[in-house]
Amino acid sequence: MQYKYHITTYGCQMNKNDSERIEVVLNKMGLQSTGDVESADVVILNTCSVRDSAEARIFGQGANFAKLKQKKPNLIVAVTGCMPGRDKTKELKKRIPWVDLYFANEEMIHLPKWLAELNPDFRVMEDLETDYLNIHPNYHSKFQAFVSIQTGCNHFCTYCVVPFARGTEGNRSLKSILAEIDDLDNKGYKEITLLGQIVNHYIAPDPEFFSKDNIYKKNDFAKLLWEINKMKSIERVHWTAPHPIYMDEEMIDALTLPKQVNFIHLPVQSGNDEILNKMNRRHDRQFYLDIIKKIRAKRPDMAIGTDIIVGFCGETEEQFQDTVSLFKICDFDISYHAKYSTRSGTVADKMFKDDVSKTEKKRRWQILQDLMEEITYAKNQKYVGQKVSVLVERCNDSWCEGNSNEMKLTRFKGNESMIGTIQTPEIYKAGTWLLWGRVV
């Protein structure tokens, strides 16, 4: 009998990368992937805990899985990801009694053993690795890959569940990272995205594997970027998400490496010093502005994105306007702004009152959204008449799409043979979220 599995992934790219690892574990057990949850024998929900709404989706699945289990009594339902990771007292688990397995990301190495205990017909296997990050993912693309170099975080921003969900910072061995990327390079992959909670704080546990002629001497992440830039097939290197306080001189200089995409995502969260302090962001407004100034001096045309939280505990209108003014000064290409929601177990939940109304949060969010769309539309007009470098990700009905080197979604006429290649269309029209071009 061919047993099947289905994985649903919520949240960030790191969760998606973890799901690609789980696929490898299940494939080695002889299970086959299916997109149809009703035909699956094992269902895995890889959860996110960044916002309350993300966990609410999991709680709302009970009725669906109760019906599925009536049809298939041997169905195994597992919940992994950030929710189990932060649920040390198992209070959240009590709300999902229909779940058979409940484990944090790093515990996926035990999955074969647990599944065989629940269903003796499954292939019995030993634990695969001592470190789950060393399980090479089942990459869904033949030309783009996400490579996790770090997990967890030591910063404990007061609003954030990551240190509770993923633990404190752990840096993957440099030897393992370089081996994975070298394998991708040999297979002809065009784009690598490095993942870490504070990716530019990567510290190699085994720095002896850096090349002796590496031009960087202090910042291990800058050294890693230099190593990847020496590889033959990889043409684009991207990474997310850095922290402003680790954008030192070497890190900023590394933005000029030839394969570095012309984009950086640098979270700020607020433009007001008092709010930044309450968030435990470890930088103030002027420090962030100075970093942006240094980046623009080193690479003037670099597109810059950020993260912003509106309506954090006690945020006044005046403090919010500081964020608006910072946004204008930085002239961001894109911002992922969120309405603050308290997360149980965080410092903010314990120490501060979530006293900005939902209506006010929504109003402030809309102000930033409108501002962003206005700035982004205006900035995109500079691409009209210019050629941009696009890695083609898909083609439908003779229209090809992919991100430019500035991470701008670009569309142009083409064919499926272009998928996985880098094209240079000339832009003839620019919208807020889409550039239209022609391959000349």
Q: Cα–Cα distances in Å, from 180 out to 58, 72, 374, 399?
A: 33, 39, 41, 33
- In a domain, residue 281? The reply is no
Whether the pLDDT of residue 128 is over 70: the answer is no
Q: Does residue 17 sit in the same domain as residue 121?
A: yes
- In a domain, residue 212? The reply is yes
Q: Does residue 163 sit in the same domain as residue 190?
A: yes
Domain boundary among the residues 261, 288, 323 is at 261
Rg for the chain, CA atoms, rounded? 23
- 3-state SS assignment for residue 268: coil
Domain boundary among the residues 81, 112, 132 is at 132
Q: pLDDT, tens digit, for every residue of 334-348? A: 999 999 999 888 999
- Please tell me the distance from the alpha carbon of residue 128 to that of residue 25, in angstroms, as a whole number: 8
How far does CA 305 lie from the centroid of its chain? 14
- Please tell me the distance from the alpha carbon of residue 193 to that of residue 20, in angstroms, as a whole number: 15
pLDDT band at 80 (very low <50, low <70, confident <90, very high): very high
- In a domain, residue 143? The reply is yes
- Which has the minimum average pLDDT: 3-17, 265-279, 284-298? 3-17
Q: The domain spanning residue 420 has which CATH number?
A: 2.40.50.140
- In a domain, residue 253? The reply is yes
pLDDT band at 358 (very low <50, low <70, confident <90, very high): very high
Mean pLDDT for 146-157 is 95
- In a domain, residue 277? The reply is no
- Which helix (H) or strand (E) segment holds residue 404: the answer is strand 399-404
How many Cα atoms occupy the beta-carbon half-sphere of 190 within 13 Å? Answer: 17
Of 412 and 14, which is predicted with more confidence? Answer: 412
Residue type, 128: L
- Please tell me the distance from the alpha carbon of residue 13 to that of residue 370, in angstroms, as a whole number: 26
Q: Does residue 124 sit in the same domain as residue 143?
A: no
Domain count, the chain: 3
Mean pLDDT for 160-188 is 94
Residue where the block lists tokens 């922290």: 243
- In a domain, residue 334? The reply is no
Domain boundary among the residues 261, 281, 307 is at 261
Q: Apex CA 83: angle with CA 177 and CA 6, to 5°? A: 75
Q: Does residue 145 sit in the same domain as residue 108?
A: no
Contact 342, 354 (CB under 8 A): yes
Q: Does residue 182 sit in the same domain as residue 123?
A: no
Q: Does residue 126 sit in the same domain as residue 198?
A: no
| Percentage of the chain lying above the pLDDT 70 cut | 98
- Please tell me the distance from the alpha carbon of residue 331 to that of residue 305, in angstroms, as a whole number: 9
Q: Does residue 159 sit in the same domain as residue 112?
A: no
Q: pLDDT, tens digit, for every residue of 223-279? A: 999 999 999 999 999 999 999 999 999 999 999 999 999 999 999 999 999 999 999
Contact 333, 379 (CB under 8 A): yes
- In a domain, residue 236? The reply is yes
Q: Does residue 11 sit in the same domain as residue 125?
A: yes
Q: Does residue 10 sit in the same domain as residue 128?
A: yes
Mean pLDDT for 108-131 is 81
The whole-number pLDDT of residue 127 equals 58
Longest CA–CA span in the chain (Å) reads: 65
Q: Does residue 12 sit in the same domain as residue 106?
A: yes
Q: The domain spanning residue 159 has which CATH number?
A: 3.30.750.210
Q: Does residue 117 sit in the same domain as residue 79?
A: yes
Q: The domain spanning residue 92 has which CATH number?
A: 3.40.50.12160
Length in residues, the chain: 440
How many Cα atoms occupy the beta-carbon half-sphere of 8 within 13 Å? Answer: 16
- In a domain, residue 84? The reply is yes
Mean pLDDT for 131-135 is 83
pLDDT band at 126 (very low <50, low <70, confident <90, very high): low
Domain span including residue 197:
139-261
The whole-number pLDDT of residue 124 equals 66
Q: What mean pLDDT value characterizes the chain?
A: 94
Q: Does residue 150 sit in the same domain as residue 231?
A: yes
Q: pLDDT, tens digit, for every residue of 89-118? A: 888 899 999 999 999 988 998 999 999 999
Of these ranges, 53-57, 64-68, 226-230, the one predicted with the greatest mean pLDDT is 226-230
